[in-house]
Structure 1
Amino acid sequence: MEKVLIITYYWPPAGGPGVQRWLKFVKYLRDFEIEPVVYVPENPTYPLIDKSLVSEIPKNIQVVQQKILEPYSVASIFSKKDTETISSGIIAKEGKQNFLQKMMLYIRGNFFIPDARKFWIKPSVNFLKNLLEEQQIKTIITTGPPHSLHLIGLQLKNELNIKWYADFRDPWTQIGYHDKLRLSKSSQQKHINLEKEVLNSADHIITTSFTTKKEFQNKTSKPVSVITNGFDEEPAENNIQLDKKFTFSHIGSLLSGRNPENLWNCLGELVLEEKSFADDFILNLVGAVSEEVLDSIKAAGLKDHLSLHKYVPHAEAIALQRRSQVLLLIEIDSQETKGIIPGKVFEYLAAKRPILALGPAEWDICQFLEETLAGTFFKYSEEEKLKYHILKLYRKFKEERLEIDSRNIENYHRKALTRNLANLLKQK
C-alpha cells in the first residue's frame, strides 16, 4: 500500500466536529489501498474532550506524536473561560468583550500569525523530514484550521520532492471571525500573503464547501476539489423510539451571532395560540448556549419548554438526533457564513428526521436539502413562512406521520467520501 502522511491538530480524545473528518478518513483509507500515517501533537490543548472517540481509531494505525508549545495552556492561568473561547475560534460580540478578551484577541491576531500553533511548525518540519525519508512517504496532507499546519506542509513541499494536499475545513482570511481579531494592516497582509503562498504551492486544494471552492479558485490556478464532511454507521440504541413530545433539537453551540429570534418568536406565538402545541413542544439545545440566546428564548415565552444539555459524547448526540421529531440547523445570517456546512447536517441526514434550516441567502446547505429532500430552508426574514411550516410539521406529528422520504444520502457516507479522497490521492 502507498503511505500518506496526515498532519492534523485535532485527534481523539479531542471532541467536536473538527476531529471527525480525518478520524473517519483514516478509518476507510485502507479499503482503497492507502496506508495512513497520522501526525498529531503530543500535548495539545483541546477546548472539548470526548474520550469515547479514542475507541474509533483503527487498530495498528501509526500515530506519531511530537510536543507542541501551547500558549493557550499558559493563558488559562488568567482565565480558562476566555482561553477556551479564543482557542476554539469563538469570538464574543464586540460589546460583550471585557478588557482581558480584547487584549488576548489583539495578541492572538498580531503576535501569533497565522495562529497560536505556529510554534509547532519548525520542530515538526525538522522531525517530519526524517520520518518522510525513513518511511519513503511521498504524499502529505495538512488539514486546518489551525492554518499553521499548512505552513508545515509548505516548508516540507519546498524542501522535499513530495506531493502536498491542503485540506481546508474552514476558510482562512474569509472566515467570519477573522475581522474580529483586531489585526493591524501589516498583520492582515501577512495572513493574505501566507494564504496565497499556501494556495499556490500545494499540489491540490480540498475544501468542505462549494462557496470556499469558488473563493479559492479566484486566488489560485491549482486544482480545487470539494469533499464534504459526512456520516458514518454509528452504533444505535436498541429499539430506539421517537420522542413522544414534539421535540425540536439543535446539536452544537448557539452563540450570540447565531440567534434566530424569528424562530423563537414563531414558537412562542404558537405556544400562546395553541394549547395542544404548548403541551407538546420541547426545545432541546445540546452544547454551549450564550446568555444572549437564552435571554431571547425566555423573552419569547419558551422558558418552560427549554431543555438544556451540555456537551455530550458523540454516541449520545447521535441517539438524541434519531429520537427527535425535528432537527434544527442554524447559521449566522451573514454572507461570510454562506459557505459553512456544519458537520452535523450529515448526521442529521443519517438520522432521517425532518431538518429545519435557518441561515443566509444562498447558503450552501440549500444544495444538500434540494438533493436529498431531507428538510426545508428559510431565510431569517421569512417569519410568516417559517411559522406556517412549523404548524404544518406539528399537524403531521399529531397525525403520527411526521416522516421524510430522503434520497441520495449514500453519497455522504464517510466511506463514499473516502473513495473520492483516495481517487484524488492516486492522481498522477
Structure 2
Amino acid sequence: MTKKVLIVAENFPPNGVTSSRRPGEMAKYLPNFGWTPIVITSKWRPDNCNYDPSIVPNIQEDLVKYETESSKPHAFQKLTEQVIRVLQPQRHPYSRLKSTQKKIEYVLKNEKIDAIWVTVPPFNLLEATSIIASKKKIPWIADFRDAWQFAPNQFVRLTMASRLKYERELLMSAAAITTVSTGFAETLQKRHNRLIQTIPHGFDPELNLNTSNEYPEIFNIVFTGGAVLGKPNFRPLLDAIGKLIQDGKIIEEKIRIDFFGAGNSVALARMFENHKYANLVKDYGPIPRIKAIENQRKAAILLAAGHPGAKGVITSKIFEYITAGRPILSIPKDNDCIDELLEKTNCGVSCTTTEEIKIAVLELYKKWESGELSNIPSSEQVLLYSSHARAKELANLLNEVTGLGK
C-alpha cells in the first residue's frame, strides 16, 4: 500500500540554507520506510535564494513538489500585510500564510494524502496546515526546528503572549509534536502540557561517511555556515591564539581561522575589529555545500558556536561536523546539548574563557605538529546520527498517528 505524507516547509532544496536540509533529507529517505513524500515549498530559483542544488545531493528527480511563488503585491495587499504585521504579528507574513494554505487545499483535492508534516519556523505555517488538516480529518505533525525562547527585540517581547496563545490554539489539533533537541522538547512540553517527541537533526550519509586522507598543511581552524544567528563571539579564540603566538608556543605563519559562508563579513569585521591578529582571519564568503564539506574534511579543527542560556539550540551543522574526521572546538560552553553531544561522541571540546581555549588549541596544535591529529569516530557511532536513521524515526511516528502500521 502506498502511503503519502505531505511535507510543508518554507525552505527546501535547492535553497542552499541550513533549514532546507532537514525537510530535504526527510523527503529523500522517507521512501526507504514506506512513505512517499509530496512537498509544498516556495519556488526557489537562482535569482531569489542562495541557489545550491548540492544542499541535499541525489534527492529523487521524480519528487512531486507544489511550489508557491510570490507575486508583486498591489496597494491593498500591502496595506493588509502591514495591518496584520502590527495587529497579528504571529500571522506575518500573511501573504505566505494564505498562499501556502491555498496550495495545501489544492494538493488535498488532487492527491490522496495520509498525513501532513509541517516544519517551522516560520510559525504561521502551523495555521496554514492545521485548519485544513482538521477540516479534512488528516493527522498532522508539527515539527519545531526552533522555539520561541528569547525576544530579539521590544516588539516581539510585547507581542510574545499573543504569539504563544496562537501556537497553543493551533497545536491542539496536531496528532503529534516533534522537535530537534531535548531542551526544546522540555520548553514545548511545559508550554503545551503534552508529550513532545525528539527527532534530532542528522547528517546525510552520502556526503559524510568518507573522511579526507589529506593531512592539513596548515593548522587551519574552519567554520562553515553563518556566523550571525545567535551573535556568536569568537574573539576569545583570536585572543588565545595571539597569546600563544606571543609566548612562542605556536608559529603565526602556521595558523589561520577560515570562515566559509554567506553574509558573515559584517559580523566578522565587528567581531575582530582592531585585533592585533585580525590578519589571521579569512572570510571566503558563500560556497556550495559540497565545497563546505570538502573544507571541513581538510581542516585541522572545526569551529562551532555554543549558545549558553538558549536551551536546546543545536544546529544540523554540528552533526555534519562529527562525521568530518576532525576535532571540534565549540565556543563558548553551552552546558547543554552541544557539550553533551561532543562528550558522547568524543569528537571535540567546548571552551569559554581565553585560558581554556589556549589550553585546548595548544594541545591540538601540538598533535597537528607531530602528525598525530585525528579524530575519526567509528562508523557505528556516526550512523546513529544519520538523517537516514532520523527519517526512520519520523516514518515510525507517521505509522503511529495514521494507524497504517508498516
Supply the AA of the counterpart residue of 2:50: L
How do 1:115-134 and structure 2 match up within 5 A?
Answer: 116-134=92-110
Residue-pair matches, total: 388
CA distance in 2, matches of 1:299, 1:33: 56
C-alpha displacement at 1:180, in angstroms?
1.3
Structure 2 residue identity aligned to 1:38: V
Query: Does structure 2 retain, via aligned residues, the 8 Å contact 1:199–1:216?
Result: no
Matched, 1:161 2:142: no
Is the aligned partner of 1:377 residue 2:379? no
Go from structure 1 to structure 2 and tell me whether the alpha carbon gap of 1:365 and 1:46 turns closer, same or farther (over 3 Å shift): farther
Residue 253 of structure 1 deviates from its aligned partner by 1.9
Asked if 1:399 is matched to 2:373, the reply is no
Structure 1 counterpart of 2:155, from 176, 179, 182:
182
Separation of aligned partners in 1, 2:180 and 2:356 = 30
Superposed displacement of residue 289, structure 1: 2.4
Q: Which residue of 2 aligns with 1:309?
A: 284
Q: Is the 8 A contact 1:112 1:118 kept in 2?
A: no
Q: Is the 8 A contact 1:231 1:346 kept in 2?
A: yes
| CA 295–41 in structure 1, closer or farther in 2 if over 3 Å, else same | closer
**What is the match of residue 216 of structure 1?**
188
Shift of 1:49: 2.6
Q: Distance in 2 between matches of 1:275 and 1:385?
A: 15
Letter in 2 for 1:350: T
Offset of 1:50 from its aligned partner?
1.8
Check conservation: 1:330, 1:358, Cα contact below 8 A.
Answer: yes
Partner of 2:78: none
Q: 1:21 to 1:360 in 2, by over 3 A?
A: same
Alpha-carbon separation, structure 1, partners of 2:94 and 2:170 = 15
State the shift of 1:260 in Å: 2.8
Give 1:328 shift: 0.5
Query: Partner of 2:30 in structure 1?
Result: 29
Deviation at 1:296, TM superposition (A): 4.1
Higher alpha-carbon deviation: 248-257 or 154-163:
248-257
Tell me: CA distance 1:168–1:70, structure 2 relative to 1, closer, same or farther (3 Å): farther
- By relative contact order (CA 8 Å, sep 6+), the higher-ranking structure is 2
Residues 285 and 107 of structure 1: is their aligned pair in 2 closer, same or farther, counting only changes over 3 Å? farther
Distance in 1, Cα, partners of 2:108 & 2:384:
33
Q: Is the 8 A contact 1:109 1:183 kept in 2?
A: no
Q: Secondary structure at the match of 2:90?
A: coil
> Which letter does structure 2 place at the counterpart of 1:269?
K
Per the alignment, residue 269 of structure 1 pairs with 243
1:241-390 mapped onto 2 (5 Å cutoff)? 241-255=214-228, 257-274=231-248, 276-287=250-261, 288-291=263-266, 293-297=268-272, 299-332=274-307, 334-335=308-309, 337-378=310-351, 380=352, 382-390=353-361
Residue by residue over 1:203-239, the C-alpha shift from the partner in whole angstroms, topping out at 9 and shown as x without a partner, is: 1111111111000110224331111111113458997
Q: Which residue type is aligned with residue 27 of structure 2?
A: V
Instruction: Report how far residue 265 of structure 1 moved.
Output: 0.7
Question: Aligned partners of 1:70, 1:217: CA distance in 2, in Å?
Answer: 40
1:120 deviates by 2.8
Partner of 2:8: 7
Confirm or deny: 8 A CA contact 2:212 2:298 kept in the other structure. Answer: no
Structure 2 unaligned segments of length 5 or more: list them. Answer: 76-81
Change (3 A) 1:183 1:31: closer
Is the 2:4–2:36 contact (alpha carbons within 8 Å) kept by the matching residues of 1? yes
Q: How does 1:43-122 map to 2 (within 5 A)?
A: 48-53=50-55, 56-68=58-70, 110=86, 113-114=89-90, 116-122=92-98
**Structure 2 CA distance for aligned equivalents of residues 235 and 409 of structure 1:** 12
Match of 1:94 in 2: none
Q: Deviations over 1:236-270 (max 9, x none)?
A: 89975132000101112223821132222101111
How far does the alpha carbon of each residue in 1:341-360 deviate from its partner, in whole angstroms, 9 at most, with x for none? 12111111110100011135
Q: CA RMSD in A?
A: 2.8
- Aligned residue in 1 for 2:79: none
Whole-angstrom distance in 2 between the partners of 1:306 and 1:107: 44
Do the aligned residues in 2 keep the contact of 1:199 with 1:222 (CA within 8 Å)? no
- Name the CA shift for 1:278/1:67 in 2 (closer, same or farther; >3 Å): closer
Bigger mean CA offset, 337-346 vs 388-397 = 337-346
Partner residue of 1:144? Answer: 120
Deviates most, 382-391 or 315-324 = 382-391
Cα distance in 2 for residues equivalent to 1:296 and 1:7: 36
How high is the sequence identity, in percent, across the aligned residues?
A: 25
- TM-score when normalising by structure 2: 0.87
Match of 1:143, SS state, is strand
